[in-house]
Amino acid sequence: MVNAERARALVESAGDPVLLLDSERRVVAASPAALELVPAAAAGQRLTEEAMAARPEVLVLFLDSPPELSAYQELRAGFTAAVSHELRTPLARLLALLETAALPDADSGDLLDQAREEVQQVGELIDDVLFLGELETGREVVSLGRTRAAPVVAEVIGSLRERADHAEVRFELRVDDRVELPLRPRMLRVVLENLLANTIRYSGQGTTCTVEVAQTAEAVSLVVSDDGKGVLPADLPRLFERFYRGDQARTSRGTGLGLAIVKHVVTAAGGEVEASGAPGGGLVVRIHFPET
């Protein structure tokens, strides 16, 4: 139990959209930003779960959190804080670049190119956050029919070929043309794009990335492996966490959501995903879908 008056004062003075509800989902307090987004959030008004889900950008707190909601609220608050942190970093760099461009004798062309890269990174992060939100709220049907893997693998590799050549990463395919995976084409494309982009970004020059698609009596599998830099043992259990980056990845411009999206898509479709590897020994990501 938190002090109601103190909680109300904190919420009403918050700059972000925040709602404070009681255990019956009645509004106890609302920040000005929340009232703009949810005009019906008057004090004492009961809000439905649907109304709250329609505005995922509003942080909802409970004065007396039901035990079953406490973990969810903690996770959501942590995710919101992480997104805010990840957005501030490129925005701070962008501001510094623009301020430098205003100085006498500044190389404005080069600075504008760098600023453009920062804007692109912010856009990619926003796209990934929104996409992950769609998946988690069930707005995106992940598993709907089956998709033959070979054409999608070829399409994704073609779209990433220029980036791979620049990074000196070579692709090797071991794809059974007959195998179908239990994912919509768009979802399979998302999984492959994130796995291959991860390899291009982190594995190092001279790496060979192998894409395997196979089928047994028990399961169909998609395996993406490389013989590059690998990962530290301490990083392996956390690779699929949102925004997690190992020491070798902290200087990259990735959003930190790619592998989290892969895991969410795979598990939503009834599959399993795991990673293995070691420093200097490359990284292997194995995805299995049991045959039904």
23 shares its domain with 131: no
pLDDT at residue 244, as a whole number? 62
CA distance 146 to 162: 29
Low-confidence ranges of the chain (pLDDT < 70): 1-4, 49-50, 52-53, 64-89, 121, 124-125, 127-144, 242-256, 292
pLDDT at residue 76, as a whole number? 52
pLDDT at residue 213, as a whole number? 94
Domain encompassing residue 29: 4-64
168 shares its domain with 199: yes
Neighbours of 263 (CB within 10 A): 23
Answer whether residue 84 is part of any domain. yes
197 shares its domain with 99: no
Residue that the structure tokens 């293995």 belong to: 276
pLDDT at residue 57, as a whole number? 75
Answer whether residue 242 is part of any domain. yes
180 shares its domain with 255: yes
48 shares its domain with 99: no
pLDDT at residue 134, as a whole number? 60
Residue type at 15?
G
Q: Looking at the chain, list the stretches that DSSP marks H as alpha helix, in order from N- to C-terminal side.
A: 4-12, 32-37, 49-53, 67-101, 108-136, 149-167, 185-202, 258-268
3-state secondary structure at position 219: strand
pLDDT at residue 258, as a whole number? 77
